[in-house]
Structure 1
Amino acid sequence: MNENYKKYRERLILTVIIIVLMFFIGFTDGGRSSVNIAERFLGDLITPVVGVASKGINAISKGVEEIVNIPNIVKENKRLQNENLTLRDENLLLSDIVARSDYLRNEHELLSNSKFNLVKANIIGKSSEANDKYLIDKGSLSGISRLDTVIMGIQSSENVVVEGLVGKIEDVGDNWSKISLIIEENNSISFTNIRTQEGGIINQTNGETVEGYMFDSRSDIIADDRLYTSGLGEIYVPRIYVGRVTNVINDDENLRKKVTVVPAVDFEKLNNVMVIIGDSYEE
């Protein structure tokens, strides 16, 4: 359709030019070499008209071309929008991978080197209970049982990937399980100070930290000591990294040495976990 309008415009301009030329030829046909005053006057009068007409025709033709080209413009705009959405999705995916790179690396290392029989699971939501227990997408069909220990890969201060304690399985379905986190109330964890091998128990939570005490009030424990599960009470599998001591208080009244501990796991970024199933620990 654009080509037809171009041809129409060209023919119209050509027709006007031919008419003007014929006019001048008619006046000069008598063998005269120049036009007279009347002919010059008519030429001066017609030439601007031809110029204006040509510009008008060009403008109209261009406008028509733009109108005719609207579907192509809309199509191109839609293509660019789709391309922009695709690039945005790819950017979000890359950002997610970068944000999760440490976890993915730790997970791979743990699955390759852990002495435990592990089942990977994704957190799919929270229960409707007041303490918001996490739900995962694996259950008894994957070998998970009640009271199984839940962990995730954590990089220790020695830059070694170890099992970080998340909690324990509280309830199990065929393809789902409910986790009780160590930062919840009424969760007790018996621990060992990895530096001195002295023990204690964590029995309180205080938001982002957990608190407990040493069995021996004379224990040698200081800030920055690392605590691991001891296995006492058979609630948690032994030798799982619990966290780092940040504060030690001597409670002379109760003859106890109290400790405040920052958990090894960042519960604000908990998306995937691993469950230790069966009796798979090797001494």
Structure 2
Amino acid sequence: MRALDDAEFDRWVRLLEARTGVIVPPERKPFLETGLRRRMRETGHTGFQTYYDELVKGARGAVEWASLVDHLTVHETHFFRHPPSLALIREEWLPRWLDAAGADASLHALSIGCSTGEEAFSLAMVVDAELSRSAPERRFGVTATDVSQAALAVARAGEYPMRRISEIPTAYRAQVEALDDGENFRICDRLRKRVGFACVNLLHASRAPLRKLDIIYCQNVLIYFARERRGEMLDALVELLQPNGLLVLGPGEAPGWSHPQMRRTGGPQTLAYLRNTKETQA
């Protein structure tokens, strides 16, 4: 199979941006070409143009598009990927939320770009451990989203290789259980029931049927979108937050972004914002 030429690369980049919002810069051309080739071999396609034409036509193309996205958007992740962000939630935000929330209030969180579930379960572990210690009567739930159905299938199963257990701090390992095969572990049933997974594109997250949220956790996702779109998506996410709700981003993902209803919180190792308790003028 011949190489992907520049004109074809531009066409694929435009299609990906239009449908997913994801930007593939020129230096990532080998990544895109490798992903396309891998999926084309699996489907028996021999030309980039004929494969492209199939993807943009009809129901069959829509089904194949979903499979291609699985190949191109599953990114590396692991448990407790950014400890300072989780420490901010555990040590600063959660105690304030417990003090301010009503006695019967439940906590609702959203994990965006959850991939195979590690970040969503890490967030759930932190919230569960703190509420179990200080407010066992409180309930919580985490909605986790991604565009990859294959990644979400792994997340829903909640099973991971035993070698990955070292990523989970010792204090949280009671929330996982070894499987009989000795090679894998599973997130405990009680915690898995607190996390629901859905296929949602970040471009459309603000339109998802979500109740007002207390935490939005969105790390290592915005870097795949054009800089001008990041602000638009963040502005839309603000509308999903409760007053005093927390938005947690990856450091360096949204330089220069500000919003009249949001204020910075946390230290220099985190990028996080609190929604104001009262509406202010822009």
**Please, what TM-score do these two structures have when normalized by structure 1?**
0.20
More helix by share: 2
Larger Rg: 1
Q: TM-score, normalised by structure 2?
A: 0.20
